[in-house]
Amino acid sequence: MSTDSAAKPAADATAEPRDFVRQIVRDDLASGRQAAIRTRFPPEPNGYLHIGHAKAICLSFGIAREFGGWCNLRLDDTNPGKENPEFVEGIKEDVRWLGYDWHELRHASDYFEVFYRAAVKLIEDGVAYVDDLDAEQVRAYRGTLTEPGRNSPFRDRSVAENLDLFRRMRAGEFDDGSKTLRAKIDMAAGNINLRDPALYRIRKVTHQNTGDAWPIYPMYDFAHALSDALEGITHSLCTLEFEDHRPLYDWCVDKVDLPNHPELWQPLIDAGLPTTPAKPRQIEFSRLNLSYCITSKRKLAQLVNEGHVDGWDDPRMNTLRGLRRRGFTPAGLRLLIERVGISKQNSVIDYAVLEGCIREDLDATSPRRMAVLDPLKLVVTNLPADHEETLAFANHPKDESFGTRDVPFSPQVWIEREDFAEVPPKGFKRLIPGGEVRLRGVGIVKCEEVIKDADGHVTELHVTLDPESRHGLPGADRKVKGTIHWVSAKHAVDTEVRLYDRLFSVPAPDDESDGQPWTAHINPEAKRITRGWLEPAAAGAAAEQRFQFERIGYFVADRVDHRPDAPVFNRIVTLRDTWAKQAGA
């Protein structure tokens, strides 16, 4: 697995996306192999979607859109007990948030009767049998990568006996795990997935859609392949870990042969589900792997269950709902997928590439506002204490279409504490005793006096304003080295600010070679809560409205907790990559 530390150059916006999957689609259309493109996105509703799913969503839905076809959203609900309607609704919401919609919403459970009939057909054709081996025995008989497996002693049961046992499995006569239906393929196959894989298992668990109607449930490989065939999917796009499963996928599709056996899918016609079975083509691509990330559903659930985070939508999580609450944009995520491309080579993308894509989108789309997070009072002493005025500020320095806003100014303002230094470090260009800076939009101020408390801490700065240095006046061209932002102390709105960062402090949190559990790599600085002062035009934002707080970073009004009368803002990303220096240290 290679490591990519930088994104590919931005693609020409007018150029067609080019990758091997799209080329296959183009060739299939040009040759007449396919008349239309039909894809699907088939998540399991056993957790919320994460950033790895974003690539699959963008590819399956994106290709269907680009080539005038359609994409189904299919919930692969074949594992009752771990699935939840809450996850189903979350998946639908996340797909729409990312910018896509589906042709039809389907569930694997819609096809349970068809799967059962297909399994009966395989038994009648002599290519499936009921096995009594338990899970441990199956593993022992399976063999290894270098040694062939052994036939189960139950492999040669007659068709009649297998049909009887399978129907009794369906009737609920047997205990969980006591029997399985297995495909009869080849126990000596080099591909272990073809060594008589299980097609059905007994699980007496209530299903979210079908209740207690089924005590048996199809295995993923069987259900997935037949679902694609039933829906007429032309290109079944999967990540690389399914490459070794493709021979089994094709075996299931070919042996059941749905297009030539309409009696198998007659229940769907009777139920009013449009069905035109076809033979799908499975194509594998590399998954999206990011440094500083965990994408295991089990580990994401562990983070939630053990209280390391505040839920599935915690802005530190790389679930899509967590990224959304953090303030990441759908356009920024789609740009990431475009930049990293589609290939057959597994690689790890530096998290900085994701942050760069988000910054690029936010820079173009986010209005500017002023905020101060570590306040130091600055008093303009040569203005009357009751002086007030309203200044017009551009909402976006690069795009006049954003218009302007009114910003109140008074002689007492808050500035960032780091914008003043009594003993300035080398290269410091902001305010120092006796020094001058430009107060953004107001003019040039000179530090005349530094006020300290009894402990010697700076509490206040007294400055004088050059009234001729404001924009449009004769002294506006006078040069000073620094410009700092501010908010009027009289008008500023107090706000809660949540400073979020990467959840993990090491690039490969899954790597436990240092003897530490992966949870030991959680970054303690990934969430810091502070207070800040905002200009009024920011405080009144709607939930999920994003801004650039000038010179600080990009922030979003929290979609859950923010209210105009009690603002809560989350940091989306800093203005620049703050991890690059750490990596190079």
Query: What residues act catalytically?
Result: 44, 287, 297
Helix (H, G, I), strand (E, B), or coil: what is residue 478? coil
Q: Is position 288 annotated in a ligand binding site? A: yes
The answer for residues whose C-beta is within 8 angstroms of residue 550's C-beta and 6 or more apart is: 368, 369, 370, 371, 440, 485
Q: Is position 387 annotated in a ligand binding site? A: no
Q: Is position 475 annotated in a ligand binding site? A: no
Q: Is position 464 annotated in a ligand binding site? A: no
What letter would DSSP give residue 113?
Answer: H
Cβ-based burial of 464 (10 A; exposed 0-12, middle 13-18, buried ≥19):
middle
Asked whether 534 and 555 are in contact (CB, 8 A), the reply is no
Q: Is position 377 annotated in a ligand binding site? A: no
The answer for residues whose C-beta is within 8 angstroms of residue 450's C-beta and 6 or more apart is: 422, 433, 458, 460, 461, 462
Q: Is position 53 annotated in a ligand binding site? A: yes
- DSSP count for the chain of H helices, then E strands: 15, 28
Q: Is position 193 annotated in a ligand binding site? A: no
Of 509, 501, 506, the closest CA to residue 294 belongs to 509
Q: Is position 54 annotated in a ligand binding site? A: yes
* Residue 553: both structure tokens together: 């970073």
* Residue 469: both structure tokens together: 């240095």
* Residue 179: both structure tokens together: 């029997």
Of 37, 35, 29, 39, the closest CA to residue 60 belongs to 39
**Cα 68 to Cα 23, 64, 65, 285, distances in angstroms:** 15, 6, 5, 22
Taking the C-alpha atoms of residue 553 and residue 29, their distance in angstroms, rounded to an integer, is 46
* Exposure of 173 in the CB half-sphere (CA atoms within 13 A): 10
Q: Is position 76 annotated in a ligand binding site? A: yes
The answer for residues whose C-beta is within 8 angstroms of residue 447's C-beta and 6 or more apart is: 420, 431, 432, 433, 434, 435, 436, 461, 462, 463
Asked whether 484 and 419 are in contact (CB, 8 A), the reply is yes
Asked whether 363 and 548 are in contact (CB, 8 A), the reply is yes
Q: Is position 44 annotated in a ligand binding site? A: yes
Q: Is position 55 annotated in a ligand binding site? A: yes
Angle (CA) 90 93 96, round 5°: 150
The answer for residues whose C-beta is within 8 angstroms of residue 571's C-beta and 6 or more apart is: 327, 497, 498, 499, 500, 501, 553, 554, 555
- Count other Cβ atoms within 10 Å, centred on residue 541: 20
Q: Is position 262 annotated in a ligand binding site? A: no
Asked whether 114 and 268 are in contact (CB, 8 A), the reply is yes
| Binding residue numbers | 44-46, 50-56, 76, 220, 239, 287-288
| Binding residue numbers for L-glutamine | 76, 220
| Binding residue numbers for ATP | 44-46, 50-56, 239, 287-288
